[in-house]
A and B are shown apart, each in its own frame.
Chain A
Amino acid sequence: MFHYDAIDTAMVADRNAEFRDQVQRRLSGDLTEDQFKPLRLMNGLYLQLHSYMLRVAIPYGALTSAKMRALAHVARRWDKGYGHFTTRQNVQFHWIRLSDTPDVLDYLATAELHAIQTSGNCIRNTTSDPFAGAAAEEVDDPRVWSEVIRQWSTFHPEFTYLPRKFKIAVTASPQDRTAARAHDIGLVLRRNRDGRLGFEVIVGGGMGRTPYIGSTIREHLPAEHLLSYLTAILRVYNRFGRRDNLYKARIKILVASLGAAEFASQVDAEWDAMDRPRLDLPDIELARIRASFGLVPFRTMPPRSERFEAARSDPAFARFARNNVVPHKIPGYGIVQVSLKGIGEVPGDCSADQMEVLADLAERHGHGEIRVTHEQNLVLPHVPLDEVPALHAGLAAAGLATPNINLVSDMIACPGLDYCALANARAIPVAQAISRTFADPARAERIGELKIKISGCINACGHHHVGHIGILGVDKKGEEFYQLTLGGSGAEDAAIGHVLGPALGADKVADAIDKLVEAYLAIRQPDERFLDTYRRTGVGPFKAAVYPDAHQA
């Protein structure tokens, strides 16, 4: 696993000292709230509906058992005993005191964790593939490039006060588990015909009130030029992105207004004029970063595990194996996904006790590695198949063996109005109601892959635009209402969903989802997912199911 060297350690220590000073200046009155707010946001500290919230980065979604235990300690000592894993490979603590924050950050630093640039109008934590280093089909380890970007973007002097926040994703597999096309920059690693490593550079994706799927501005950027090219993109955006309107300040609006081709040519002109060798990472540093991730000491094992197969006689294990375990690049290993979507529970929440169980289980069965997914689940990326039954038993004892990955109850939900100061409506209770509606695991499996994503406001932290079924909470004359969208996807087949019809009252949503699912089951063809059926038939049968009285358009 990657570890900080003396320079990385000093960087975090210097930042924590600076932040301690900023907090002290606020508490002593040297800074007004207006002056302090952007400074605290730059270090992930929000003032939410009930309290301060601290967002801690999990770079490229990679945790170790030691880091997970540190998160558990923060949850217990400074919060109310739990944390919330987000759609951006961060973890949020919802009950933090401002006056405790400097101590929390110093403690996190001992475990090589930080809250640097987890908010604010700067370059945020880079999203990466939670299966990195384990997926058979990846062309390179995306964590290496995410770490390259982490360093380059940390305290970038030119790009700390951008028009708006900026999110980058890196993926290296044909299956996109990062929602790359919904990021400000999505980087897809590929090898060209000559075997050279390069990035497809996708710019201008994003959600919020104006959702866009990103445009490809370069098919194959030679990997060694990543940093100079990113600098060129960010410079064009920093100079010419809109600053007069908060809602038009993201790079997607600049790309859309210029057109992708013109934006690309401005980036190229900037890039051509640069002293690239000064900006690009030298091979020796790339090699150092690559080596610092080390090698997992995989054992040589037969591809088929008798113990794993025998355990399938337990229906609960069989279901877990079918839905939560996927093949690993090394024979005899599996990638085990841990759902944080227990039936009726809060999507993404994890108690301090559960964090410690996971840390122990990862150490015992999974080389001490834990990953965080953008779908608010966790992954033990390297588990010998022989040990999956024991792991499953340990997870089940902690309430962490819900066998629903990619199924209807595996929903994304933002914190919504239960926590968030910006929300218009609650998201979590809606997720809980849907989850209970589909509590029967056999039925959920029959339905198959179905991604429901719920946001409590138009900022779309719950990714509703790219849900197979999206749910957006709105305030309609003082009542919580929910608008459904269909047909979105955040994966390699990315698309923005379409509004189904008038918004529904809170008590009608779960029932409407049930009707949509029944309509799908009635008309699906073999091997069609919900999304595929929708794409084949269009909205008609779904609209009729939810709004039977509506006149035919």
Chain B
Amino acid sequence: MSEALKVLTANDLAGGQVVFLSEAGWSDRYADAVIFDDAAAADAALEAARAATLTLADPYLIDVAAVDGLPVPTSYRERIRALGPTIHPDMGPQADGGVLVHALQQARGAARSSGRLGLIRRK
């Protein structure tokens, strides 16, 4: 049985770049994102983000699946948003590379969980 995993995202108000809620505040890197497996905690974080209107625009929660132990957004839209334009691998967060960026780039279609998350960054 798969868990309902969530990540909280928004755009930075002044800069516009995609940001994710991390343990240390808002980060430009999806790899830093806190993975919520508790719906109430995720909703509470979303409410707090909605109140942060001076720094954020359009916060929302995205669904994440545990693919080979890594948290991968289930929709291709959210994967592209987390990576940057697929036509310019040198632009956006994907330019930094790394295991998670690679996992997102490899995912196809609607990602489904294949076992549990191997990481400890769960809330």
- A/B: CB atoms within 8 Å of each other: yes
The answer, yes or no, to whether A478 is at the interface (CB within 8 Å) is yes
The answer, yes or no, to whether A97 is at the interface (CB within 8 Å) is yes
Give how many B residues have a beta carbon under 8 Å from the other chain's beta carbons: 27
Q: Given contacts A32-B53, A478-B110, is CB(A418)–CB(B14) below 8 Å?
A: no
Binding-face segment, A12-20, A44-52, A56-64, A140-148? A44-52
> Contact: A98 with B81, CB < 8 Å?
no
> Contact: B16 with A52, CB < 8 Å?
yes
Across-interface contacts of B74 in A (CB, < 8 A):
478
The answer, yes or no, to whether A29 is at the interface (CB within 8 Å) is yes
Across-interface contacts of A426 in B (CB, < 8 A):
80, 86
> Contact: B13 with A98, CB < 8 Å?
yes
* A33 contact from B58, B84, B85, B92, Cβ within 8 A: B58
> Contact: B87 with A97, CB < 8 Å?
no
The answer, yes or no, to whether A432 is at the interface (CB within 8 Å) is yes
The answer, yes or no, to whether A508 is at the interface (CB within 8 Å) is no
The answer, yes or no, to whether A166 is at the interface (CB within 8 Å) is no
Across-interface contacts of A418 in B (CB, < 8 A):
80, 85-88
In the complex formed, the residue of A with least CB distance to B110 is A478
Across-interface contacts of B87 in A (CB, < 8 A):
346, 418, 428-429, 432
> Contact: A47 with B54, CB < 8 Å?
no
> Contact: B75 with A478, CB < 8 Å?
yes
> Contact: A99 with B18, CB < 8 Å?
no
Chain B, residues 52-73, CB within 8 Å of chain A (1/0): the string is 0110011000000000000000
The answer, yes or no, to whether B121 is at the interface (CB within 8 Å) is no
Across-interface contacts of A477 in B (CB, < 8 A):
109-110
The answer, yes or no, to whether A492 is at the interface (CB within 8 Å) is no
The answer, yes or no, to whether A27 is at the interface (CB within 8 Å) is yes
Looking at chain B's contact residues, the main secondary structure is loop
The answer, yes or no, to whether B27 is at the interface (CB within 8 Å) is no
Question: What is the bound-complex CA distance between A530 and B46, given in angstroms?
Answer: 53
> Contact: B14 with A97, CB < 8 Å?
yes
> Contact: B92 with A50, CB < 8 Å?
yes
> Contact: A478 with B76, CB < 8 Å?
yes
In the complex formed, the residue of A with least CB distance to B109 is A479
Interface residues of A in 79-107 (CB under 8 A from B): 80, 95-99
* A419 contact from B13, B58, B85, Cβ within 8 A: B85
Q: Given contacts A97-B14, A99-B14, A426-B86, is CB(A49)–CB(B75) below 8 Å?
A: no
* B58 contact from A47, A98, A429, A475, Cβ within 8 A: A47
The answer, yes or no, to whether B98 is at the interface (CB within 8 Å) is no
> Contact: B76 with A98, CB < 8 Å?
no
* A50 contact from B53, B85, B109, Cβ within 8 A: B85
Which of B16, B18, B92, B110 has most A Cβ within 10 Å? Answer: B16
Question: What is the bound-complex CA distance between A90 and B58, given in angstroms?
Answer: 26
In the complex formed, the residue of A with least CB distance to B108 is A479
Across-interface contacts of B122 in A (CB, < 8 A):
none
Chain B, residues 32-64, CB within 8 Å of chain A (1/0): the string is 000000000000000000000110011000000
In the complex formed, the residue of A with least CB distance to B56 is A33
* B14 contact from A27, A32, A33, A428, Cβ within 8 A: A27
Chain A, residues 32-55, CB within 8 Å of chain B (1/0): the string is 110000000000000111111000
The answer, yes or no, to whether B25 is at the interface (CB within 8 Å) is no
Question: What is the bound-complex CA distance between A52 and B17, given in angstroms?
Answer: 8
The answer, yes or no, to whether A417 is at the interface (CB within 8 Å) is yes
Across-interface contacts of B16 in A (CB, < 8 A):
47-48, 50-52, 96-98
* A97 contact from B15, B75, B76, B80, Cβ within 8 A: B15
In the complex formed, the residue of B with least CB distance to A36 is B57
In the complex formed, the residue of A with least CB distance to B78 is A49
> Contact: B13 with A478, CB < 8 Å?
no
Across-interface contacts of B85 in A (CB, < 8 A):
50, 418-419
> Contact: B17 with A29, CB < 8 Å?
no
> Contact: B110 with A33, CB < 8 Å?
no
Across-interface contacts of A478 in B (CB, < 8 A):
74-76, 109-110
In the complex formed, the residue of B with least CB distance to A29 is B54
The answer, yes or no, to whether B11 is at the interface (CB within 8 Å) is yes
Question: What is the bound-complex CA distance between A432 and B91, given in angstroms?
Answer: 18
Question: What is the bound-complex CA distance between A480 and B108, given in angstroms?
Answer: 10
Across-interface contacts of B13 in A (CB, < 8 A):
26-27, 98
The answer, yes or no, to whether B102 is at the interface (CB within 8 Å) is no
Which of B76, B81, B92 has most A Cβ within 10 Å? Answer: B76
Which A residues are closer than 8 A to B by beta carbons?
A: 26-29, 32-33, 47-52, 80, 95-99, 346, 417-419, 423, 426, 428-429, 432, 475, 477-480
Q: 3 tightest CB-CB pairs across the interface, nearest first?
A: A478-B110, A52-B16, A418-B85
Q: A98-B15, A429-B86 are in contact. List 7 more A-B contacts (CB 8 A).
A: A28-B54, A29-B53, A33-B57, A97-B15, A99-B15, A477-B109, A478-B74
Of the A-B pairs whose beta carbons lie under 8 Å apart in the complex, a sample of 22, sorted by A's number, is A27-B13, A29-B53, A33-B58, A47-B11, A48-B16, A49-B18, A50-B81, A51-B16, A51-B17, A80-B91, A97-B14, A98-B14, A418-B85, A418-B87, A426-B80, A428-B87, A429-B86, A432-B87, A477-B109, A479-B108, A479-B109, A480-B76
